[in-house]
């Protein structure tokens, strides 16, 4: 059967394509933004209809870190609403039997009880720095549930925690915290800088999942999960931003001082997911943070930093 991965050029989509191939799916079709603009309803419907997939994985989204979300809420709201609505409409028109919509853990209230259960959705106010993106993703969940209720579609939605890995965005203006830290500490190490400045107080706690673990979870959920409620995908473990910064510094070999800019926003105080539901289906992550960070840094050296010799750069730093 044909599986269509929307957003196949991104961090998540490319990992899902790899995982599907490894699982034996021989007919996997990617949809990159250069191929089809999913914000265009007609283009989305034409592309999906022509592809005629049995399964669609929606990994297409406008994404970014705190700075990008806070600066451009209109784009994060409108682009994601259009992408999701158009893709679900196209999948319905093409009679797609299985859709996996990928949301984000930012859908949950800022002060949700920790670890965050799936039933925390819509029980409190959102984090203000990315509320527009969160609302769009909540609308995607409701879209999946609505198609299930009205048309009896076996469509599902999954909510990943903070992701990282090969193919990540390392732009300091638009990236998430972990790739931004990798770039900051790498550049400071190369330049011989004495300090690196990290946004916020360093006290917020975050959970991080390697994107290849998420991709494996996607393949698993397509086979093992069929429920209208979203399902969390994470590790169930978290670290402080200060602990993360220290781990990144050690990974890249930076030995200077870490300075915290407390004038910058921290975001949600703590965000770690309750992963008991997905654990009950038989799935668990396999890549630890230290291991995943080391492999991600190697990828950054070989593909972004222009070093072209990741293993040599890291020798003696990370084993």
CATH no. for residue 154?
Answer: 3.40.50.720
Please, are residues 287 and 252 in contact by the beta-carbon 8 Å criterion? no
pLDDT (0 to 100) of residue 64: 83
Q: What is the pLDDT of residue 265?
A: 85
Domain range for 260: 177-205+237-271+289-314
> Are residues 131 and 20 located together in one domain of the fold?
yes
Number of structural domains the chain divides into: 2
88 and 135 assigned to the same domain: yes
> Is 293:319 a contact under the CB 8 Å cutoff?
no
* Report field, pTM of the whole predicted structure over 0.95: no
Is position 202 annotated in a ligand binding site?
no
Give the separation between CA 241 and CA 86, rounded to whole angstroms.
Answer: 37
Residue 316 confidence (pLDDT) above 50: no
Greatest CA separation for the chain: 60
Task: For 218, list phi and psi in degrees, rounded to 5.
Answer: -60, -45
pLDDT band at 299 (very low <50, low <70, confident <90, very high): very high
Shared domain check, 198 and 73: no
pLDDT tens string 217-255: 999 999 999 999 999 999 999 999 999 999 999 999 999
Structure tokens at 182: 């990798």
Confidence band for 138, pLDDT divided at 50, 70 and 90: very high
Residue 51 lies in a domain: yes
| Whether residue 38 is found in the same domain as residue 108 | yes
Report, as residue numbers or ranges, the catalytic residues: 133
Burial class from Cβ neighbours inside 10 Å (0-12, 13-18, 19+) for residue 306 reads: exposed
277 occurs within a structural domain: no
Lowest mean pLDDT segment, chosen from 136-145, 186-195, 199-208, 260-269: 260-269
What share of the chain in percent tops pLDDT 90?
A: 87
**CATH of residue 294:** 3.90.25.10
Residue 104 marked ligand-binding: yes
Mean pLDDT of 17-27: 96
pLDDT, residue 46, reads 98
Is 307 within 8 Å of 298 (Cβ atoms)? no
State the pLDDT at residue 318.
Answer: 31
pLDDT in tens, 201-221: 999 999 999 999 999 999 999
Same-domain status, 153 and 44: yes
Query: Considering the domain boundaries, does residue 281 fall inside one?
Result: no
Cis peptide before 52 (omega within 30 of 0): no
pLDDT of residue 314: 37
The answer to the question of whether 78 is labelled as a binding residue is no
Claim to verify: residue 138 and residue 246 sit in the same structural domain: no
Verify that 186 and 242 share a domain, yes or no: yes
Residues 227 and 97 in one domain: yes
Is 115 annotated to bind ligand?
no
- 210 in a known ligand binding site: no
User: How high does pLDDT run on average in the chain?
Assistant: 93
Residues 200 and 217 in one domain: no
Is residue 1 over pLDDT 70? yes
Confidence at residue 70, expressed as pLDDT on a 0 to 100 scale: 86
Residues 64, 169: Cα–Cα separation, whole Å = 9
The answer to whether residues 155 and 249 belong to one domain is no
**Residue 308 reports pLDDT greater than 90:** no
| Residue 176, annotated as binding a ligand | yes
Nearest to 93 by CA among 53, 61, 60: 53
Residue 176's pLDDT is: 85
Give the pLDDT band of residue 101 (cuts 50, 70, 90): very high
228 and 88 inside one domain: yes
Does residue 272 have a known ligand-binding role? no
Q: How confident is the model at residue 306 (pLDDT cuts 50, 70, 90)?
A: confident
Question: Is 108 in the same domain as 186?
Answer: no
Q: Taking the CA of residue 273 as centre, how many other CA atoms within 13 Å lie in the half-sphere pointing to its CB?
A: 28
Please, which residues bridge with residue 156 across strands? 100
Q: Is residue 280 part of a domain?
A: no
Question: Is 7 marked within a binding site?
Answer: yes
Interval 55-78: pLDDT, tens: 999 999 998 877 788 899 999 999
Lowest mean pLDDT among 22-31, 252-261, 303-312: 303-312
């Amino acid at each position: 059967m044909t599986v269509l991965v929307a957003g196949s050029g991104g961090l998540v989509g490319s990992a899902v394509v790899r995982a599907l191939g490894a699982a034996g799916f021989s007919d996997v079709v990617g949809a990159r933004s250069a191929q089809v603009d999913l914000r265009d309803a007609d283009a989305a419907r034409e592309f999906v209809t022509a592809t005629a997939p049995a399964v669609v994985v929606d990994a297409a989204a406008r994404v970014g870190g705190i700075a990008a979300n806070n600066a451009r809420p209109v784009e994060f709201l409108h682009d994601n609403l259009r992408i999701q609505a158009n893709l679900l409409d196209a999948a319905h028109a093409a009679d797609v039997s299985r859709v996996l919509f990928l949301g984000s853990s930012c859908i949950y209230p800022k002060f949700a009880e920790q670890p965050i259960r799936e039933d925390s959705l819509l029980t409190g106010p959102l984090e203000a720095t990315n509320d527009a993106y969160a609302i769009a993703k909540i609308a995607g969940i409701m879209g999946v549930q609505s198609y299930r209720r009205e048309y009896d579609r076996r469509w599902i939605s999954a909510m990943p925690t903070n992701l990282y890995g090969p193919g990540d965005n390392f732009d300091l203006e638009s990236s998430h915290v972990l790739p931004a830290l990798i770039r900051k500490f790498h550049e400071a190490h190369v330049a011989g800088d004495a300090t690196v400045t990290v946004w916020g107080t360093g006290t917020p706690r975050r959970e991080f999942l390697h994107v290849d673990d998420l991709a494996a979870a996607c393949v698993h959920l397509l086979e093992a999960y069929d429920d209208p409620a979203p399902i969390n995908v994470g590790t169930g473990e978290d670290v402080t931003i200060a602990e993360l910064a220290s781990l990144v510094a050690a990974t890249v070999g930076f030995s200077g001082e870490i300075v915290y800019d407390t004038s910058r926003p921290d975001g949600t105080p703590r965000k770690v997911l309750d992963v008991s539901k997905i654990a009950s289906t038989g799935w668990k992550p396999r890549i630890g943070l230290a291991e995943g960070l080391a492999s991600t840094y190697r990828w950054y050296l070989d593909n972004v930093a222009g070093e072209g010799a990741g293993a040599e750069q890291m020798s003696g730093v990370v084993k």
